[in-house]
């Protein structure tokens, strides 16, 4: 009888262990806090109206009369889109569904950059979604560059509380004179103020909006340990419900830094209004939740990388 009980206990523990191993980290038992849905404040921009093909045109497929797009990476090329206008501050968002399956080395990016105009002093605000190996999930990496300071990346990395390959999720950026804020499904995960010690590293020049998928084998998955395996190609990312609202900086179309006339549901300016100038207490609480539960890397804690920490880390 005792032996039967011991065997029963052993197999029960073995079953629980197998279940724990099989449960992916994107099934974490986290319920995200409630937050204002900033992505509901603005109309969507059809992909073919807001963007042009940037590279890998053969791997860009416009769908539903151009309202959304699939971007693919295969052995011949990645692919990407670039906004038809440049922006000096604004709210930028896209609903993205990531490739399923083994995707090590694959990088999907939704970001702002002016590298085309300022080759040696460019600014950049990055949302980078990094593919995974068999033991890990997709990772969200945020980064900020200013005035060509590419040697000092300001990366922070997060896990998700959902499976980003099963359906579209919102990835959004606020960039204005007050701060830069990164959002996932309207939950702020990172804020970078424009004042104080941050001011010298704050992006300040007009930028274009990009959406891309490409081969990041040299660095993306565990520092390049796992390259892209093209046996599983093509890798396809779906892009929908894009939003780009703010100060347009395109001399050929509108006056420099001309702000959109669109307003939020509360009637405030889309770039400087109350919903965008500062995080509410509800958003601050949500950001603290995300950073405590999901962030696993911050450049400010990487003492092996920086002999002298960037000033904003002190």
**Residue 47, CA atoms < 13 Å, CB-side half-sphere:** 25
180 CB neighbour count, 10 Å cutoff = 21
Burial 39-73 (b: 16+ CB within 10 A, else e): bebbebbbbbebbebbebeebbebeeeebbbbbbb
- Strand 169-175, strand 179-184: pairing: antiparallel
CA distances from 160 to 139, 179, 247 (A): 7, 23, 31
DSSP, collapsed to helix, strand or coil, labels residue 128 as strand
Q: Which of 6, 124, 191, 272 is catalytic?
A: 124
Question: How many angstroms separate the CA atoms of 299 and 189, rounded?
Answer: 15
Q: Which of 128, 156, 191, 243 is catalytic?
A: 128
Residue 156 annotated in active site: no
Residue 155 annotated in active site: no
Question: How many angstroms separate the CA atoms of 183 and 127, rounded?
Answer: 9
Cβ-Cβ contacts under 8 Å for 304 (sequence gap 6 or more): none
Q: Where in the sequence numbering do the catalytic residues fall? A: 124, 128
């Amino acid at each position: 009888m005792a032996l039967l009980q011991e065997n029963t206990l052993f197999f029960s523990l073995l079953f629980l262990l197998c279940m724990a191993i099989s449960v992916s980290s994107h099934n974490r038992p986290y319920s995200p806090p409630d937050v204002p849905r900033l992505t509901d404040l603005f109309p969507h921009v059809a992909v073919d109206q807001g963007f042009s093909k940037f590279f890998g045109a053969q791997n860009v497929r416009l769908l539903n009369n151009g309202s959304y797009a699939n971007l693919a990476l295969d052995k011949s090329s990645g692919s990407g889109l670039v906004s038809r206008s440049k922006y000096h501050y604004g709210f930028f968002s896209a609903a993205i569904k990531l490739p399923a399956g083994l995707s090590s080395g694959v990088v999907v990016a939704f970001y702002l950059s002016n590298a085309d105009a300022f080759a040696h002093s460019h600014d950049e605000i990055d949302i980078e979604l990094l593919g995974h190996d068999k033991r890990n999930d997709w990772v969200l990496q945020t980064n900020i560059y200013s005035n060509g300071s590419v040697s000092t990346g300001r990366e922070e990395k997060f896990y998700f509380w959902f499976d980003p390959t099963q359906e579209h999720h919102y990835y959004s950026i606020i960039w204005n004179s007050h701060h830069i804020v990164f959002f996932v499904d309207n939950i702020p995960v990172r804020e970078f103020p424009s004042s104080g010690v941050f001011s010298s590293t704050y992006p300040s020049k007009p930028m274009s909006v990009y959406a891309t998928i490409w081969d990041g084998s040299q660095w993306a998955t565990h520092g390049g340990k796992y390259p892209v395996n093209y046996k599983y190609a093509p890798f396809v990312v779906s892009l929908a419900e894009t939003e780009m609202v703010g100060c347009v900086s395109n001399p050929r179309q509108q006056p420099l830094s001309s702000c959109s006339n669109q307003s939020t549901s509360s009637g405030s300016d889309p770039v400087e209004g109350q919903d965008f100038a500062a995080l509410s207490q509800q958003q601050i609480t949500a950001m603290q939740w995300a950073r405590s539960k999901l962030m696993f890397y911050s450049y400010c804690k990487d003492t092996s990388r920086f002999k002298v920490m960037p000033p904003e880390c002190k």
